[in-house]
Amino acid sequence: MNPYQVISLDMFQTLVNIEGRRNHIWRPILQQDFSEARALELGQALLTHYFAQAAAIRDAGSFCTSQEIYRRGFEKVFQEHLLSFDCHEAVDILFAEHRLSGLYADTVPFLQKISEAYQICIVSDTDTLMLPDFYKEYPIKLFTSEDYGSYKNDGRNRMFTEVIAYYGVQPEEILHIGDSASDVLGAARAGIRSCWINRTGSSWKHTVQPDYTVSNLEELYPILEPGAPAEPA
């Protein structure tokens, strides 16, 4: 008997790697001033603004699409670094490059294997337009923040409660796998088992602990084998 009925997956830095698209995002923006160091600097600044704004919106109990949050982030970065570039065009570039993100080497074998035994969904804090469409090749249900007007681990925790309602199973029969704190904390609040995929060797900094921690998707196979214990070791 399988320990879980549903496998829920984050998208970015879990199934696909956006890091390889950074230079492609910033090259048309910086043009003759482009360098890899500059792209890294501005990319980190953009993410800092993105996460700060997303946290403020979440704490206020409000919601904005990723498109709008990134537009505001680009606006701040361009102001701070005296760059003249259209914020809306920058968002279009960023979304297009996210759609071109490369899959990790373990993604396709993992999806092929688990699709034989589990119901699968992707739960992503983003707009649908930002997502690579490889998931359409599999029997995968998509849950995005844009569709539900909610974020993982916000005050309502709607993203994960929608997953539970859609499949009609007990929360503990779902395993959510993701790379961020929101993945683990939001799943835990909903009673869903959580797996932190830590591809970068980072340290976990939160009181609530993931039920499992892996460095790649292959390490999940023993956990998902029929007959594996339903309770984490």
φ, ψ dihedrals at 203, nearest 5°: -100, 140
108 and 92 in a single domain? The answer is no
83 and 113 in a single domain? The answer is no
Residue 233 included in any domain = no
Beta strands in the chain (DSSP E): 6-9, 16-17, 102-103, 119-124, 140-144, 174-178, 193-197, 212-214
Give SS3 for 124. strand
Range of the structural domain that residue 45 is part of: 18-99
- Domain end position, chosen among 38, 73, 99: 99
68 and 150 in a single domain? The answer is no
Of residues 223, 230, 186, 225, the one with CA closest to residue 208: 186
Assess contact for 22 and 43: CB atoms under 8 A.
yes
Per-residue pLDDT of the chain (233 residues; tens, 9 = 90+): 678 999 999 999 999 999 999 999 999 999 999 999 999 999 999 999 999 999 999 889 999 999 999 999 999 999 999 999 999 999 999 999 999 999 999 999 999 999 989 999 999 999 999 999 999 999 999 999 999 999 999 988 999 999 999 999 999 999 999 999 999 999 999 999 999 999 999 999 999 999 999 999 999 999 998 666 555 54
Overall domain count for the chain: 2
* pTM, 2 dp: 0.93
